[in-house]
Amino acid sequence: MTKTSVARSTGAEPVPEIDTNKNPDEMSFLEHLEALRWHIIRALSSVLVIGVTAFAFKSFIFDDLLLGPTKQTFITYRWFCDISDTICFYPEGLEIITRDISEQFLSHIKVSIWLGIIVAFPYIFYEFWKFVKPGLYSTEQKAAKGVVFISSTLFLSGILFGYFVIAPFAVTFLSSYSVSPDILNTTTLTSLVNSMTMFTIPTGIIFELPIVIYFLAKVGLVTSATMKQYRKHAVVIILILSAIITPPDVITQFLIGLPLYLLFEAGIVIAKRVEKNQAKENGGN
């Protein structure tokens, strides 16, 4: 039943339906909002579906994924131990407890939501791109070709880096650190969930840096020369960011600071390539 037929049956004035498939140049402000609303609904629906699915696989999500870096059998520990006993490391006897009757249930929901966001990220970005793309010029659309795939790959790579590299080192260091033998190292489930979130989500976002630099270079807000000039300042900012988004230990800060710096250097290369391409285009014109 359409909005018009409902209006007729109630005696009210018919409400015109909004066509979200119209040419963006012909759409009104309300029609743009309606189109955005449906993009958001579809994106949130994907998070909900994946989150509910993750919720159903409780044992795998917690025993294998969340608690993975706390176990000696985790793949990162086995990999280092197989290389040499000298670099072999793993956490020893980390006790995880709950202090609230609802903590396990709420943690279950929280982890499921985060997994929904992570797994659905490519589709979420795809919906965002579908909304933005019609408003761009053809040259801008061409320049952004493959942005969904590249952005999704970078984000998921950051998540994997945080999970398989940052988390094992951080968990091992923090769980073994002691200021007194009279103090036992125990952690709550909520603390572990929050820590694993901080090890992965920010890293995934940070790995989007090359995409950001690419578009900033495209519009002329960033140049390779400027980035080289402020390289030392960038190192200081990277160290500050590493200290903010990671626990207060040097090892974890280094583990996230190093890829940040490498991403910055990659950004310089990307900006330089953009400048060369723009110079060729201007020369051809």
What Rg value do the Cα atoms of the chain yield, rounded?
24
pLDDT of 245: 62
Question: Based on the number of CB atoms within 10 Å of its own CB, is 255 exposed (0-12), middle (13-18) or buried (19 or more)?
Answer: buried
Q: In Å, what is the CA distance from 280 to each residue of 54, 144, 224, 227, 283?
A: 49, 18, 17, 22, 5
Averaged pLDDT, groups of 10, the chain, 285 residues long: 45 48 64 88 96 95 94 92 86 88 96 97 93 80 84 95 90 85 88 93 91 88 90 87 66 78 91 86 65
Give the separation between CA 153 and CA 175, rounded to whole angstroms: 31
Residue-wise DSSP of 78-100: HHHHHH-STT-------EEE--S
pLDDT at 7: 45
DSSP 15: P
Distance CA 78, CA 75 (A): 5
Give the type of residue at 168: P
Task: State the residue for tokens 């583990």.
Answer: 255
pLDDT at 201: 93
Overall pTM > 0.85: no
| Under 8 Å between Cβ of 195 and 170 | yes
